[in-house]
Structure 1
Amino acid sequence: MVLILISLGFKLSIIPFHSYTPDLYEGTMPPITAFIATVTKISVFVAFMRLLMILPNITSFLNNVLTIISIVTILFGNILALKQNNLKRILGYSSIANLGYLLTVIIAMQMHICKFILETINIYLLTYTLTTLGIFGIISLINNETLSFYKGLFWSKPDLAIVLTIMLLSLAGIPLTAGFIGKVYIFLNALNYQLWFILISIGIGNSIGIYYYFRIISFLYMNVNKKQLIFDLNSFVYYLVLSLSLFILVFGLFPQNIISLIRVFS
């Protein structure tokens, strides 16, 4: 059982099994990276969740281990993203931190499985997936992942800069975006099950995340002499990221209807 959990830990990139993830994100093409960051991680997380659900009774020791891993993953996933100057590597460490947030739900699930926990998982996975796909879609359009390349993007392509801003605000969990709804659900789960140390780590980790997400946003609006860039704005990816940004805003502004739909499938 320990070997199985360690194997799933590698696939989920939770600390201390995370070291390959930023290199993998940086070394692959954006569409492939988007697939790894969404479909692969979600499928493994669901397998991990189902495995823990069918175990007869998870021991308190293993539950404590998962709590420690969750706290460390949240904190160090965000801290390691601070010094990165490559957008894909930042997203790699961000994905590690987001899996730490989801482990909170797994720990709560060991105490009591209820419809609210399943609803939290569905909402958080939906918001994370759509936001991640949107960001990698923009990286694919721009075809550059170096953070300095994005300086002054607003002055050459304001539509892409605004869409990327919406996606980053959602990842940071800022109100009026879909990501805020997902973070609130995670916070409420930790609060309901009195996971106090995890609550503190969520607060600290999200504060660090807000810093490096806003650092990227500040690059977009710097007033620099940037030459006109040419993008293929008639491509499917361009309209996809526009649609995703619109959905993220609608979900953040009017969450109740979408949440009601998610409850049907939870």
Structure 2
Amino acid sequence: MVIFPELVLVAGALAFFAVSLSKTPDQNVIKYLAIFFGIATFAAACFSFSAQGILFHGTYVVDQYSQVFKVLIGCSLAFLLVFGHNPRGIAPRMRPEYYMFLMLSVLGLMIMVSSVELITIFVALELSSFALYLMVPMRDERGGVRYQMEAGIKYVLFGVMATGFMLYGMSYLFGLTGSTYLTDIIAFLAINGHQPVAVVAVLMVLTGFFFKLAVFPFHFWVPDIYQGASNETAAFVATIPKIGAVALLIRFLTVPTGHPQFLIELMAVLAVLSMFYGNLSALVQKDLKRMLGFSGIAHAGFIILALMTMTSEGYALAIYYTAGYVVMNLACFLVICSLASEGQNLSIKDCNGLYKRQPVLAFTMAVGLFSLAGIPPFVGFMGKFMILTSALRADYLLIVCLAAINTAIAIYYYLSVVKAVYTTDPENRPAVTVNPFIQISGIVLASLIILMGIFPAKLIDFVSTVVGILP
């Protein structure tokens, strides 16, 4: 079925809406529904992987390109709901609504990766964003956190501003081309892309996608939302929306054909600033989620570095690196969600002696952080190495050197957490008890990080073939 994953998500949202109508919803029902629909979404995406079709008057295209991203989204959602099926940061009475909005947000991302028309892209982006805006302030105050409302307001304000820029740019593109279809826009800009108004239009549209990816200077929301949202919500924000943002960025970078120098130079500046700002800010963080938020800004710089080559190889490496980044963050957030017994925020000191308290979680955290730091043989190292090699072949020597410096900076704060996990005393902290689902998920995520780093060639070759179908 062409839109099987989307239908599963709609069914999931309706199921949680029905559960929310009960005055005292059964928590076991909610928990097992979350696990079921997470796994079902992934299974549906895999089942419809080879599906192809053009729907809704050509505004919605199901092809191998879109299906790759849907499988990534479905897989990430399955892991997220398996280890986050009991969100301690969300009050039990709010969980049906929480999962309903989660399903709607993922549905928006699924629609977004198949959208090839401006209005459809805008509607999908807003569906995903507004559901997420509501999830952030739903955090329970039992964990001692009382600034989730502030985080939610900041998220809405920055999101609305970015959306305004993007919508204004879309109106320019429509005014220039008389069409909202990407194919028509590409054909027009292939000839007239040098016009100043076309340049401004493309840049304003990209603003919305840079906000979703948390690229400097569209990053201001990141640390506060990571810190203010519940651990499970922060895990979602840190992973799945990044997949949709990269899918859209690749589609839009085919619009300004002819490798426009202005866009390449802009992306180079944004990539370098994102790396330095993210890494230098992460150096001084004590809150674990806030540190991961700043590091996410730095990793967005590496994704932009891959995209700025504007070649099929660069796009494939961006997808590979994004997939690896999502798996690495899921591994780290699995540990955070498991350690935070009351849904509280964790400091780096809270990881002290974790190898004695829960060896599987310690191993999972170490593998995730080693990979984020870019240490071989993990996927983070291989992704960074191949991106830098690709950029070097494109004669971006200065940017490659700056990126290498940032990799060295990042090693310090990532390994400071590993040091806390493996070389410090637990200091009377209790042992951590986790169910088999959590342990199996941690081992699987750690294995994926290792295998994706050791055997990247076939993955990248396949993704390169998929990217080649784009206009």
TM-score normalised by structure 1 residue count: 0.90
Which of 373, 379, 397 matches 1:196? 397
Q: Do 2:317 and 2:460's aligned partners in 1 also have CA atoms closer than 8 Å?
A: no
Q: Do 1:179 and 1:252's aligned partners in 2 also have CA atoms closer than 8 Å?
A: yes
Corresponding residue SS for 1:108: coil
User: 1:139 aligns to what?
Assistant: 336
Q: Deviations for 1:127-175, whole angstroms, at most 9, x for unmatched residues?
A: 1111111111111111152111111111222221111101100111111
User: 1:33 aligns to what?
Assistant: 234
User: 1:124 aligns to what?
Assistant: 321
User: 2:428 aligns to what?
Assistant: 226
Are 2:350 and 1:153 aligned?
Answer: no
Give the AA of the match of 1:17: F
Is there any run of 5+ residues in structure 1 with no aligned partner, and where?
none
Corresponding residue SS for 2:423: coil
User: 1:249 aligns to what?
Assistant: 450
Give the AA of the match of 1:80: S
Q: Deviations for 1:103-141, whole angstroms, at most 9, x for unmatched residues?
A: 1122100xxx23x22331222112111111111111111
Cα–Cα, structure 1 residues 263 and 59, in superposed 2: closer, same or farther, change >3 Å?
A: closer
Corresponding residue SS for 1:135: helix
Give the AA of the match of 2:298: A
Aligned length in residues? 261
Which of 46, 64, 69 matches 2:247? 46
Are 2:200 and 1:8 aligned?
Answer: no
Aligned equivalents of 1:36 and 1:197: distance in 2? 32
Which of 70, 92, 95 matches 2:271? 70
TM-score normalised by structure 2 residue count: 0.53
Cα–Cα, structure 1 residues 251 and 47, in superposed 2: closer, same or farther, change >3 Å?
A: closer
Of structures 1 and 2, the larger Rg is shown by: 2
Aligned equivalents of 2:385 and 2:259: distance in 1? 27
Identity of aligned residues (%): 29
RMSD, matched Cα? 1.9
Cα–Cα, structure 1 residues 52 and 262, in superposed 2: closer, same or farther, change >3 Å?
A: closer
The alpha-carbon deviation at position 260 of structure 1 amounts to: 5.2
Cα–Cα, structure 1 residues 228 and 10, in superposed 2: closer, same or farther, change >3 Å?
A: same
Aligned equivalents of 1:196 and 1:212: distance in 2? 26
Range 78-87 or range 155-164, more displaced: 155-164
Is there any run of 5+ residues in structure 2 with no aligned partner, and where?
1-200
Cα–Cα, structure 1 residues 104 and 223, in superposed 2: closer, same or farther, change >3 Å?
A: closer
Give the AA of the match of 1:252: G
Are 2:295 and 1:80 aligned?
Answer: no
Are 2:212 and 1:212 aligned?
Answer: no
Give the AA of the match of 1:230: V
Aligned equivalents of 2:438 and 2:423: distance in 1? 25
Give the AA of the match of 2:379: A
Aligned equivalents of 1:13 and 1:166: distance in 2? 24
Aligned equivalents of 2:428 and 2:461: distance in 1? 45
Corresponding residue SS for 1:54: coil
Aligned equivalents of 1:221 and 1:252: distance in 2? 23
Q: Do 1:152 and 1:219's aligned partners in 2 also have CA atoms closer than 8 Å?
A: yes
Aligned equivalents of 1:31 and 1:227: distance in 2? 23
Give the AA of the match of 1:217: V
Aligned equivalents of 2:386 and 2:299: distance in 1? 13
Aligned equivalents of 1:78 and 1:60: distance in 2? 27
Give the AA of the match of 1:137: L
Give the AA of the match of 2:225: L
Corresponding residue SS for 1:221: helix
Q: Do 1:155 and 1:223's aligned partners in 2 also have CA atoms closer than 8 Å?
A: no
User: 2:291 aligns to what?
Assistant: 90
Cα–Cα, structure 1 residues 193 and 207, in superposed 2: closer, same or farther, change >3 Å?
A: same
Aligned equivalents of 1:260 and 1:70: distance in 2? 25
